[in-house]
Structure 1
């Protein structure tokens, strides 16, 4: 009888213990569920919530078309959201520029993929080239990049994509985007003509108080005469738009600013015919005058840029040590040269570099992001050099892995890199953190 009673008490005690444990577990589950729900309701300034249709990459083509048939059905709501964004974030820093590319396309907006299907470029040495794969990429899962965009294999013509880009720039405090530009009817080797996208960019930029300048590419036939024609075209077609960027000089004059990529391909004598105020064909002191920045690659280019009549220089490449101009250790001396020569020095900073998904033989030029430290080192070097204007390489040059645009983890045919353990907007956040450092002209 005693043993039975003891056993009964033991069973009752065990049951009570199990009941208490079960109740405790149930309570924890309820708390966690509530917390998760609460967290999901919180806005994430640099998460995917700020990207319209950010999950489109997981949808079918038919669903994509349905999504974009009326991307923003309530215009008032869209405008309200934009106004809320403008109120939440400080005024853009117009000394923070970023290089921007509009050459991407997809079947929905362009009838085919553009640039995402970039070919693998062969090495110039045929013996080296033979050791690496050939062909081209097959989007949307296999793209010509080492990272994968949060917006998927998007089109640069998609209004929702353009709006998302402007939102990201505004959140990062970027004031000026330098749009990669070819004259009407001209294009790069892997895309289509994009001048007709410029009005879309200007309108969207204006909505977010961002300005637009032009990064003039080395188009076929570029010389002093065709450059004059191009600048004239840009000013006459886009110069009156409120988003068209004008740089305020030390004398108080405001002029359009132009980045001239691969400017060294044209001789100083040719450039002087355009930029020397005493030349008969000079653009100076005409309605089309501007601030012209040359690309500095080699050290000897400093003198050539000065004799050409340029107003300043930039370095573009996001690979520290790749060129004289892109090497951080040289920026102080370059800035000193520019100061002594009354030139503007605009160093180019970037979050890293990797292009092995289009140049598989170029791994030696990869620059690891080191979870954002590489980018901060570049920004710090620009600040220490005394630069007041900085150009960011890039917002969305995905082929070379220099983008600060939001990227997401992606598994599949290609093993893509990502920004983990940070969020997709990590590089926007870093950019915004540094914006106040470069505040004066």
Structure 2
């Protein structure tokens, strides 16, 4: 009887062992299926719960054929430039993750203590931020520049008649809905510039995207800014930051003038250690350039310089770059792909203002970019308040809600698995999108009283209370680090 029980016990143990082995093999098989894209796994990553988009949105007939999928991160190396031989048909730029100093990728090394040339683990070069160097004051410029911006008239004369006119009168009354902690500074003041770089370093935003016009050109209210670029590059390098360019529209800008602009930028600034380069799937470290209001030039014209077969193509030459177009309307998607751009960005900080800036469209925008081999760069902002220059534009104002609006934008951006997130802005004070430090101020008069340009344009200043002056720098750091963490988990 004892012998029989032992036999039954041995049989039960054997059966349990066989069942366990079969269950283990099944689990391995299911995990392999998941790894091949057959299903989502668990884990702490925000992106793991999101299906990866695969199809072109809306079946746009203008969409370009799919480009090669992004490659895996490549080891860091020096920038490589190649001259295209006559008739050389260089392939379109393939994009991969990140940039570090001298072209290294944030994703080349998962060690947070190694990010570029001394950036440490506290700078994320996949976070870009729009920066404006158009401000002036009497000490450095002989007069106030941009801080005294006039109120803009509404295009409808009947609407315009209901709103005040005039210009702001610094230093008490500046053309902004918030008051800068540095006061109405000059972009030519080295102390102000280094202060900005310290703030950007605190925010962990690794790439400054400079609003730029060619030499001798400027916006309607400012002075030329190209002569400030060397100082900005030097200051950025001192703080382990990078600089790239936001090519603004100017009179008679077209594909030929932009080609000349790109040549000028690369020839003059491309050798500076703070000049931003982006690692491509071919191993090149190319400049990455934003082109504002790109839709003003026809897609076929852009294709002359941005497609390999274009008559004046930069592809495969020393002036090749990663070119990002601004998407405003849905119809721009097909045009951007046909034009030969390498990606798109959304810029505007007002959720709902445009097709591109509406957070609920970002997943479909990312799907379009994935299907066409393009880089999707969503632009997040802390709010929007431009009453100091457009008092009639209340419908597009977005309150900051003590940082919650900003964090909601970051969440929406992260859900698309972006390679890069851009921020609007560091210091576009006129539109109230700045994350630069601001302080409370009671009124617009020289003594803090209520003087100003009138109702609407002379409204009391907003502030970051109950937060500190650096509240939005700290929030930016939080999300820059979260972006890094999510991307590391996604790559694993």
Q: Tell me the TM-score normalised to structure 1 length.
A: 0.79
Name 1:119's counterpart in structure 2: 150
Name 1:298's counterpart in structure 2: 329
Name 2:211's counterpart in structure 1: 180
Contact 2:119/2:240 (8 A) holds in 1: no
Name 1:336's counterpart in structure 2: 367
Name 1:214's counterpart in structure 2: 245
Name 1:227's counterpart in structure 2: 258
The alignment partner of 1:105 has SS state of: coil
Q: 1:89: Cα distance to partner? A: 7.1
- Rounded Cα–Cα distance in structure 2 between residues aligned with 1:87 and 1:315: 31
Of the two structures, which has the highest relative contact order with CA contacts closer than 8 Å and spacing of 6 or more? 2
Q: 1:88: Cα distance to partner? A: 11
Normalized per residue, the structure richer in helix is: 1
Q: 1:398: Cα distance to partner? A: 0.1
Contact 2:150/2:389 (8 A) holds in 1: yes
Residues 200-235 of structure 1: per-residue CA shift (max 9 Å, x gap): 100000001000000000011111111111000000
The alignment partner of 2:464 has SS state of: coil
Equivalent positions of 1:328-367 (< 5 A) are 328-367=359-398
Equivalent positions of 1:77-88 (< 5 A) are none
Aligned counterpart for 2:313 among listed residues 268, 282, 298: 282
Residues 290-309 of structure 1: per-residue CA shift (max 9 Å, x gap): 00000000011010000000
Q: Which portions of structure 1, spanning 4 or more consecutive aligned residues, are displaced by more than 3 angstroms? A: 86-91
- Rounded Cα–Cα distance in structure 2 between residues aligned with 1:335 and 1:252: 24
Name 1:436's counterpart in structure 2: 481
Q: 1:113: Cα distance to partner? A: 0.3
Contact 1:332/1:386 (8 A) holds in 2: no
Q: 1:388: Cα distance to partner? A: 2.1
Q: 1:87: Cα distance to partner? A: 8.9
Between Structure 1 and Structure 2, how many residues are aligned?
A: 356
- The answer to whether residue 452 in structure 2 is matched with residue 407 in structure 1 is no
Equivalent positions of 1:374-393 (< 5 A) are 374-393=405-424
- Rounded Cα–Cα distance in structure 2 between residues aligned with 1:160 and 1:356: 29
- Rounded Cα–Cα distance in structure 2 between residues aligned with 1:341 and 1:194: 35
Contact 1:383/1:437 (8 A) holds in 2: no
Aligned alpha-carbon RMSD (Å): 1.4
- Rounded Cα–Cα distance in structure 2 between residues aligned with 1:319 and 1:271: 28
Contact 2:208/2:242 (8 A) holds in 1: yes
- Rounded Cα–Cα distance in structure 1 between residues aligned with 2:231 and 2:262: 19
- The answer to whether residue 472 in structure 2 is matched with residue 427 in structure 1 is yes
Equivalent positions of 1:108-257 (< 5 A) are 108-257=139-288
- Rounded Cα–Cα distance in structure 2 between residues aligned with 1:281 and 1:393: 32
Residues 156-180 of structure 1: per-residue CA shift (max 9 Å, x gap): 0000000000000001111000000
Aligned counterpart for 1:322 among listed residues 353, 362, 369: 353
Q: Tell me the TM-score normalised to structure 2 length.
A: 0.71
Q: Which runs of 5+ in 1 are unaligned?
A: 1-85
Residues 57-113 of structure 1: per-residue CA shift (max 9 Å, x gap): xxxxxxxxxxxxxxxxxxxxxxxxxxxxx9997331000000000000000000000
Equivalent positions of 1:364-375 (< 5 A) are 364-375=395-406
The alignment partner of 1:97 has SS state of: strand
Contact 1:388/1:438 (8 A) holds in 2: no
The alignment partner of 1:161 has SS state of: helix
- Rounded Cα–Cα distance in structure 1 between residues aligned with 2:367 and 2:334: 13
Name 1:26's counterpart in structure 2: none
